[in-house]
Amino acid sequence: MFKLPPISLYIHIPWCLKKCGYCNFYSKVKKSTLPEEEYIKHLLKDLEKDAILINQRTIKSIFIGGGTPSLLTSNGIKKLIKEIKKRINISHTAEITIEANPTTLEYKRFLNYKDSGINRFSIGIQTFNSDLLKKIERTYDKKEAILAIEEIKKININFNLDLMYGLPNQSLNDALLDLKIATKYNPSHISWYQLTIEPNTIFYTKNLNLPNEKIIFQILKQGDNFLKKSGYNKYEISSYSRLNYECKHNLNYWNFGDYIGIGSGAHGKITKKNGDIIRTVKNNIDHFINGNYLKKKFIVIKEEKCLEYFMNAFRLYQSISQKQFEERTNINKSYIKDKIKKAIKEGYIKEKNNFWNTTKKGKKFLNSLLEIFLD
């Protein structure tokens, strides 16, 4: 019988105080009081519809993202988590994360969030440089960012700091200073990734004076060395953690696990007992708040299963089990043997003892490696 993968829950809260120019996620600017009670009611109904698909599996992790989910009141979050637990099985060891921005309104709610069952916080710092924060249109400064970290440290040791490099006019020293300040507060996890400008964002048509490739390379090289020397293990392309503090929710994504996606703009991936993979996309807020939750639902074709699996797995700094590939895709590895041979010949991966390993070249030219499976 086909073995179903582990499953997580993603909850999307679409509102923000301001839409950042680089943001590519579905979000809406908060113009008045949030319809919090009504939205939570619809989130739970959306969950009830998707819960039918999960075959009684226990949820291993919950991630509340956005948007800016910490705009919800602590009572709203408490009610949401309590009602979710009535509807589906949640592991007693589940990692439950909420994203938050370091504004005064939000970090004052941290303690109450923890009382609601939240056991991991992800703080969107991006940079500690107040001038750069203005350039990327964030709504706080260095002082507020540090205050938020100090507040979170008082109540929870498991927290992530989101940082970006490659910002407009950012120097090598600017980027390294961000990492030095971050590690001073000893977060359990650091997500450190390059600013990328997507075509459908506000910044796409602007001349931002981004650092050139030479500077980016030096930032990445020296920053990576600094984080490793500071005791952080790089377990994914842009993720570093203290021992045993890897993000369980994201690891489930990267290992091609399943996840229910509820809320306006959320995406989901559910595997059926016959091995078919269903993708779901939820409606925008205007439709969602009127009870029309599902925008799109489709079965992933065989060729795209392989590509999707490797788009996730090749990001990780660990061996890729051929057995896991077969279990998570319901596809025999012989189906991709020619593509694997080509990837080995090009020097992107190595094969040993029923495992695949991405080489340094494969990590450096990840898009070229993935193009083999896109072919």
pLDDT class of 1 with cuts at 50, 70, 90: low
For 37, the token pair is 């009670």
The per-residue pLDDT for 111 is: 85
Mean pLDDT of the chain: 93
pLDDT value at 221 more than 80 = yes
The per-residue pLDDT for 224 is: 98
* Residue 252: exposure state from Cβ atoms within 10 A (0-12, 13-18, ≥19): buried
Q: Which domains does the chain have, with CATH numbers?
A: 7-252 (3.20.20.70), 303-375 (1.10.10)
Produce one character per residue of 27-49: b if its CB has 16 or more CB atoms within 10 Å, e if not. Answer: bbeeeeebebeebbebbbebbee
Task: Please state the length of the chain.
Answer: 375
The per-residue pLDDT for 103 is: 81
The pTM of the full predicted model, rounded to 2 decimals, is: 0.95
DSSP label at residue 57 = P
The per-residue pLDDT for 25 is: 73
For the segment 236-259, what is each residue's pLDDT rounded down to a tens digit? 999 999 999 999 999 999 999 999
The per-residue pLDDT for 227 is: 98
Largest CA distance in the chain: 58
Whole-number Cα distances in Å, 68 to 153, 175, 300, 349: 20, 25, 30, 38
Whole-number Cα distances in Å, 196 to 34, 159, 190, 199, 219: 30, 24, 18, 10, 15
For 352, the token pair is 């040993």
CB 267 within 8 A of CB 279: yes
The per-residue pLDDT for 2 is: 74
For the segment 273-327, what is each residue's pLDDT rounded down to a tens digit? 999 999 999 999 999 999 999 999 999 999 999 999 999 999 999 999 999 999 9
The per-residue pLDDT for 139 is: 87
For the segment 55-108, what is each residue's pLDDT rounded down to a tens digit? 899 999 999 999 889 889 999 999 999 999 999 999 999 999 999 988 866 667
Amino acid present at 20: C
For 131, the token pair is 């001038």
